[in-house]
Amino acid sequence: MIYTIENQVFSVSVESKGAQLKSIFSKETGIEYLWQGDEKYWMGRAYNLFPYVGRLAKGKYVVGGKEFAMDRHGFARGEEFSLLSSDDLSMTFALKSNERTKAVYPFDFTFLVKFTILNKSLTVTYKVVNDGNLTMYFGLGGHPGFNVPFDGGEFEDYYIHFEKDCVPTQVFASEKGLITPKTAPYNLVDGKNIPLKHYLFDNDAIILTDVLKSVYLKGKGTDKAVKVSYPNMENLGFWHMPKTDAPFVCIEPWMTLPANEGEPEVLETKKNIGVVEKGNSFETDMIIEIIE
């Protein structure tokens, strides 16, 4: 089921399956900023990645000394969430652990995704609650796709922009999408920009660490932009379907990275893994702002 919140200038729609964004729409300009899905390229729009980000080595991981199998990006994107609460400007969706989740992830949890709008800003608040008696380990991330172009021009007229000069570190992945030991400085054009080219994604996502906590999607010849902020996320991915002319780009803040090459990872020792003790919770935000 699809639910919508709106004010005078802005509307946001969310599907209960996966608590996935379906629309980010400006009433003032009539522009739909969110990618609307196309089977030629990618039918997703804005997956919520939980309880794992990316691929697992051999499709498996280890926690509590036991091995489990899980699909790429975890299971939240395929689960039906319940609408927990809503008002004119916000709505909260909840996924509780169940027989399906416990078969691949042995924790009792509640995963909450709250959407709140203010003017032309959308805050997506993720909250992970440990409902069980075990220390809980998890990965978390966003995967929103944005139309490119969204205000005239061509795909290659658009670019990723950082507000300040920076030199992120690129993390390289294997052909299987697993993290390798290789890293390198990712040199931005003029110290701040990544001009969009379809070939950038021929080897899958660009994965960066050591990044600023916000980034813009901008285009030549337009003052309109999309700003994505991720105050507590350490990694950032950019992606569209490899080796295509897909008219979108995903800006993906990630708390954790995909698995390393080799044997299945042990969650207790994975770098940057989320940890919630019994009876406690973890919360973080992703903010999407439309600038017009």
Q: Mind listing the pLDDT tens digit for each residue in 71-120?
A: 999 999 999 999 999 999 999 999 999 999 999 999 999 999 999 999 99
pTM over 0.85: yes
**What are the Cα distances from residue 132, in Å, to 113, 126, 177?**
19, 19, 32
> Which pLDDT belongs to residue 12?
98
Determine the structural domain holding residue 79 and report its residue range.
2-291
Average pLDDT in the 25-43 region?
A: 97
What's residue 85's pLDDT? 96
Question: Position of tokens 């030991």?
Answer: 181
pLDDT attached to residue 211: 93
| Rg, C-alpha atoms of the chain | 19
In terms of Cα–Cα distance, which of 105, 39, 67, 34 is closest to 265?
A: 67
21 has a pLDDT exceeding 90: yes
- pLDDT tens digit string along 118-147? 999 999 999 999 999 999 999 999 999 999
Collapsing DSSP to helix, strand or coil, 277 comes out as: coil
CA torsion angle 272 273 278 284 (round to 10): 70
Strand partners, 284: 126
Which residue type, as a one-letter code, is found at position 171? V
Instruction: Tell me what percent of the residues of the chain surpass a pLDDT of 90.
Output: 99
Peptide bond into 195 cis (omega under 30): no
For residue range 254-267, list pLDDT tens digits in order: 999 999 999 999 99
Confidence of residue 64 (pLDDT cuts 50, 70, 90): very high
Supply the DSSP string of 87-132, one letter for each residue: -SSEEEEEEE--HHHHHHS---EEEEEEEEEETTEEEEEEEEEE-S
Percent of the chain residues past pLDDT 70, beyond the cut: 100
CA-CA distance, 200 to 188, in Å (whole number)? Answer: 13
pLDDT at 272: 87
Position 203 scores a pLDDT of 94
271, pLDDT greater than 90: no
Which 3 state secondary structure label does DSSP give 76? helix
Q: For 240-254, what is each residue's pLDDT tens digit?
A: 999 999 999 999 999
Can you give the CATH number for the domain in which 247 is found? 2.70.98.10
Cβ atoms of 292 and 26 closer than 8 Å:
yes
Q: How far apart are CA 255 and CA 49, in angstroms?
A: 10
Tally of structural domains, the chain: 1
Across the chain, what does the average pLDDT equal? 96
| pLDDT tens digits along 177-215 | 999 999 999 999 999 999 999 999 999 999 999 999 999
192: Cα separation from own chain's centroid: 22
Q: Three-state secondary structure along 183-223?
A: EEECCCECCCEEECCHHHHCCCCEEEECCCCEEEEEECCCC
Distances (CA, A) of 195 to 149, 153, 228: 13, 14, 17
Classify the phi-psi angles of 235: left when phi > 0, otherwise alpha if psi is within -120 to 50, otherwise beta: beta
Instruction: Categorize the per-residue pLDDT at 158 as very low, low, confident or very high, splitting at 50, 70 and 90.
Output: very high
Around Cβ 231, how many Cβ atoms within 10 Å?
A: 11
The answer to whether the CB of 221 falls within 8 A of the CB of 175 is: no
